[in-house]
């Protein structure tokens, strides 16, 4: 059902990969997947991978653990780093362990 993948690096570490819209919804950063798709399609999300920041407009964009996601939602700046990706929507308490909050106001 979920499009979450686990990729193993050469050093043995595991990287989680997920669609951006699904990850935002499953980690409860946005209320619905439709809202996540709308935010992404409007170009309001930026992803930083390997020190390079890109504006994203495709909900199907894959993100990996370690990628930083920045966007404004409900007049709040949200800057988080993906730690892991769940296969389904999780509780609010569990969701907070799936990302590192760099700055939210």
User: How many CB atoms are closer than 10 A to CB 101?
Assistant: 11
All domains in the chain, ordered by first residue: 5-104 (3.10.290.10)
Res 73: pLDDT: 86
Res 9: pLDDT: 47
| CB-based contact 29:80 (threshold 8 Å) | yes
Res 104: pLDDT: 55
Res 86: pLDDT: 87
Task: Tell me the C-alpha to C-alpha distance, in Å, between residue 31 and each of 5, 24, 48, 72.
Answer: 23, 9, 23, 14
Residue with tokens 């990996």: 64
Phi, psi of 61 (to 5 degrees): -60, 130
Q: Residue ranges of the chain with pLDDT lower than 70?
A: 1-15, 103-105
For the entire predicted model, the pTM comes to 0.83
Res 20: pLDDT: 96
Res 2: pLDDT: 53
């Amino acid at each position: 059902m979920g499009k979450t993948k686990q990729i193993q690096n050469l050093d043995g570490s595991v990287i989680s990969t997920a669609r951006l819209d699904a990850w935002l919804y499953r980690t409860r950063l946005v209320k619905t997947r439709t809202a996540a798709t709308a935010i992404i399609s409007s170009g309001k999300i930026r992803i930083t991978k390997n020190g390079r920041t890109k504006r994203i407009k495709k909900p199907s964009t894959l993100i990996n653990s370690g990628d930083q996601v920045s966007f404004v939602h409900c007049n709040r700046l949200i800057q988080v780093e993906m730690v892991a990706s769940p296969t389904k929507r999780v509780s609010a308490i569990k969701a907070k362990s799936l990302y590192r909050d760099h700055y939210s106001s």
